[in-house]
Amino acid sequence: MNDYQNIGILLQFVAITVLFLKIICTADCTGISGKTQLLHALVLTTRYLDLTAEHVTVYDTILRIIFTLITYCIVASIFLLFRGSYDRKRDAFRIELLVLPSAVLALFLNNQFESFEVLRAFSAYLEAVAIVPQVYLASKTKQIESIVVSYVACLGLYEGCYVMHWLYDYAKTRKLVNIDVACGIVQLIFYADFFARNLPILKVKGGSPRISGAGRAATSRAFADKAQDAEAAKGQRTCDGSVAAADGDSTMVLATVVGSETEKVTLLAAGAKERATSN
């Protein structure tokens, strides 16, 4: 194995280990697509079924067992241990739309029509689209945890390292595994889409879309109309207040006049009564 392959294996191990520890330590699997983890488990199972039929090194055997066990532990944690925090409603992508086409492609497009080669091709095709449910879930979620973004980033770098590994082998041997390279490129496209949706540095600054000149003019007119309406309402309120104040002053003057006249009438009545008594 060359350095690209070793780095890729390390990144894959870091990705699934960090994700598993996150679920276990927080007892929460929010933002994680259980369907993507199911697809990854199926990928590893079909890819490593030849573990007993094919001679591999002890190092490779241990790595394959560890990767498969950790992936199945993640699946069990999501669907059994911490299923209360699993977002089933948003993780609603139909994985049969990914599994069935991958199986058909594996039957017709493979390196050799043998059981293990067909299964290996199936795992390559399925791995290329296994991240789709996670991308779908992220598109339905307003916020996604940084640990999930880190997990996907490690997987993206892992796949990138393997593409470099295949190109490095091609430069040395002039032989290229077309299925692996094509699937790796497709997978990198899905990872790029995920990062474009969820990394703030790749989003438009301010979070607002670009507006055309006509749109800006219409928006300006709308704001101007609203400002005029506000000024008119303010003026109306001022006029109403002035009228009310004037009415209040008139009422006070009228009350004062009535009071004065009443006092005069009282004094006149008192004077008349006094003169009548004296007579």
Residues in contact with 47: Cβ distance below 8 Å, sequence separation at least 6, in sequence order: 119, 120, 123
* Under 8 Å between Cβ of 109 and 167: no
Instruction: Say how far apart CA 277 and CA 258 lie, in whole Å.
Output: 29
For residue 121, which of 146, 103, 135 has the smallest C-alpha distance?
103
- Name, of 68-82, 174-188, 221-235, 259-273, the range with top average pLDDT: 68-82
Q: What is the pLDDT of residues 82-106, one digit of tens each?
A: 988 898 888 989 999 999 999 999 9
**3-class DSSP string for 40-101:** HHHHHHHHCHHHCCCCCCHHHHHHHHHHHHHHHHHHHHHHHHCHHHCCCCCCCCCCHHHHHH
pLDDT of residue 206: 42
12 or 170, greater pLDDT = 12
pLDDT of residue 213: 45
pLDDT of residue 66: 92
Length of the chain: 279
Q: What is the pLDDT of residues 167-206, one digit of tens each?
A: 887 788 777 767 888 888 888 888 888 887 776 544 544 4
* Under 8 Å between Cβ of 136 and 152: no
For the chain, the straight-line distance linking the first and the last C-alpha, in angstroms and rounded, comes to: 142
Q: Which amino acid is at 10?
A: L
Q: What is the three-class DSSP state of 208?
A: coil
pLDDT of residue 272: 58
pLDDT of residue 215: 45
Q: Mean of the per-residue pLDDT values for the chain?
A: 77
Q: How many CB atoms lie within 10 A of CB 177?
A: 14
**Both structure tokens of 99:** 């599994």
Question: pLDDT band at residue 114, thresholds of 50, 70 and 90?
Answer: confident
pLDDT of residue 123: 92
Instruction: Record the pTM.
Output: 0.68
* Under 8 Å between Cβ of 24 and 77: yes
Residues in contact with 125: Cβ distance below 8 Å, sequence separation at least 6, in sequence order: 101, 102, 105, 106, 179, 183
Overall average pLDDT of the 142-160 stretch: 84
233 or 139, greater pLDDT = 139
The packing angle between helices 58-76 and 34-47, to 10°, is 150
Overall average pLDDT of the 14-30 stretch: 91
pLDDT of residue 8: 85
247 or 26, greater pLDDT = 26
Local structure of residue 167 (DSSP, 8 states): H
Lowest mean per-residue pLDDT among 2-11, 68-77, 209-218, 263-272: 209-218
Instruction: Say how far apart CA 60 and CA 53 lie, in whole Å.
Output: 14
Local structure of residue 30 (DSSP, 8 states): T
pLDDT of residue 79: 93
pLDDT of residue 269: 59
pLDDT of residue 102: 93
Overall average pLDDT of the 21-26 stretch: 92
User: Hey, CA dihedral for 109, 113, 115, 116, is it positive or negative?
Assistant: negative
Instruction: Say how far apart CA 234 and CA 232 lie, in whole Å.
Output: 5
Q: What is the pLDDT of residues 208-220, one digit of tens each?
A: 444 444 444 555 5
* Under 8 Å between Cβ of 30 and 144: no
